[in-house]
C-alpha cells in the first residue's frame, strides 16, 4: 500500500485539454455558413452582389437564432451578425463581390498583430483567454513556467492561424477569386481552428516542466518552496 502511494505521488500531473476549455468548433462552423451563402447567392443570381449579400445576412440571422436557442450570449450573437452585415455593406458599396471577404482579411491581420504584441508585452492572449475561463484573473502570470508556455503556444495562433489566413485570403482577394475565397473561408475556419487548438495545446503542455501541476494550478514563486512541491520534485534546490 505504501509503495503504491509513493508511485501515485511521483506520477506526472494530469494535463488539462485545451480543446475542452476553448471548444470553438461549433462557433467556427457557424461562422463559415454566411460566407458560403454569399457565394451561392452570388452564383445562382448571375453574380448579383445584392442577392449574395441578402443570402448571407439572412443565413447569419438564422444562425443567430439557433445560437440563442442553444443558450449563447446575445452579445456574441449580435457581434457575429454585425460582422456579416458589415461585410455585405462593404461589398455592396464597392460593387466588388470579393470585398465581402475584406473585413475578414483585415480582422485576421489585426488579430495577428495583437497576438504578437501581447506576447512581446508578456501578456500572451492565450493565457489571458484561458485564465479568464478558469477564473484565475492574472494569477497565471506570476508562474514563470506557465507564462513561458503560454507565450510559446500563442505563437502557434499568430503564425498557424491568423498569418495563414492573411496570406491565403490576401492572395485570393487581390486576384478576385470569389468562389475560391468562399472555399478558403470554410477550410480555414473550423478545421484550422481545431488544428490550431490541438497544436497550441501540445506546445503549451510540452513547455511546462513534468512536475508542474498544470494550467489549472499556477505555481506562485513562494509556493515553489512549500513542503508539498518539495516532496514532488526531490533533489531540486528551492530558491529563496
Supply the pLDDT for residue 232: 45
* Distance separating alpha carbons of residues 169 and 102, to the nearest angstrom: 8
Q: Is residue 149 part of a domain?
A: yes
* Distance separating alpha carbons of residues 168 and 171, to the nearest angstrom: 5
* Distance separating alpha carbons of residues 197 and 202, to the nearest angstrom: 9
Where residue 137 falls (left for φ over 0; alpha for ψ -120 to 50; beta otherwise) is left
pLDDT of 225 > 90? The answer is no
* Distance separating alpha carbons of residues 97 and 92, to the nearest angstrom: 8
Domain count, the chain: 1
Whether 164 contacts 145, CB under 8 Å: no
What is the distance in angstroms between the CA of the first residue and the CA of the last residue of the chain? 35
pLDDT of 21 > 90? The answer is no
Least confident of 59-63, 71-75, 148-152, 177-181: 71-75
Whether 103 contacts 88, CB under 8 Å: no
* Distance separating alpha carbons of residues 236 and 234, to the nearest angstrom: 6
Q: Is residue 64 part of a domain?
A: yes
pLDDT of 50 > 90? The answer is yes
| Residue 11 binned pLDDT confidence (cut-offs 50, 70, 90) | very low
* Distance separating alpha carbons of residues 188 and 29, to the nearest angstrom: 10
Tell me the pLDDT tens digit for each residue of 161-205.
999 999 999 999 999 999 999 999 999 988 898 899 999 999 999
What is the residue range of 108's domain? Answer: 15-221
Q: Is residue 94 part of a domain?
A: yes
Cell numbers given for 74: 446575445
Q: Is residue 115 part of a domain?
A: yes
Q: Is residue 179 part of a domain?
A: yes
Q: Is residue 228 part of a domain?
A: no
Please classify residue 121 by burial: count the beta carbons closer than 10 Å to its beta carbon, then call 0-12 exposed, 13-18 middle and 19+ buried: exposed
Tell me the pLDDT tens digit for each residue of 79-122.
999 999 999 999 999 999 999 999 999 999 999 999 999 999 99
Q: Is residue 240 part of a domain?
A: no
Amino acid at each position: 500500500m505504501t509503495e503504491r502511494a509513493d508511485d501515485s505521488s511521483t506520477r506526472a500531473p494530469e494535463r488539462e485539454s485545451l480543446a475542452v476549455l476553448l471548444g470553438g468548433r461549433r462557433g467556427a462552423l457557424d461562422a463559415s455558413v454566411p460566407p458560403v451563402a454569399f457565394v451561392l447567392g452570388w452564383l445562382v443570381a448571375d453574380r448579383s452582389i445584392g442577392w449574395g449579400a441578402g443570402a448571407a445576412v439572412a443565413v447569419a440571422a438564422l444562425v443567430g437564432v439557433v445560437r440563442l436557442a442553444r443558450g449563447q450570449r446575445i452579445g456574441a450573437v449580435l457581434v457575429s451578425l454585425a460582422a456579416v452585415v458589415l461585410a455585405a455593406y462593404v461589398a455592396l458599396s464597392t460593387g466588388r463581390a470579393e470585398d465581402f471577404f475584406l473585413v475578414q482579411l483585415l480582422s485576421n491581420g489585426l488579430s495577428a498583430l495583437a497576438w504578437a504584441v501581447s506576447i512581446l508585452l508578456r501578456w500572451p492572449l492565450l493565457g489571458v483567454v484561458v485564465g479568464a475561463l478558469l477564473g484565475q484573473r492574472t494569477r497565471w502570470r506570476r508562474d514563470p513556467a506557465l507564462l513561458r508556455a503560454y507565450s510559446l503556444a500563442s505563437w502557434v495562433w499568430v503564425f498557424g492561424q491568423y498569418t495563414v489566413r492573411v496570406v491565403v485570403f490576401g492572395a485570393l482577394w487581390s486576384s478576385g477569386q470569389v468562389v475560391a475565397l468562399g472555399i478558403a473561408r470554410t477550410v480555414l475556419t473550423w478545421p484550422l481552428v481545431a488544428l490550431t487548438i490541438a497544436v497550441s495545446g501540445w506546445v503549451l503542455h510540452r513547455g511546462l516542466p513534468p512536475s508542474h501541476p498544470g494550467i489549472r494550478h499556477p505555481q506562485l514563486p513562494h509556493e515553489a518552496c512549500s513542503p508539498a512541491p518539495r516532496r514532488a520534485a526531490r533533489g531540486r534546490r528551492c530558491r529563496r
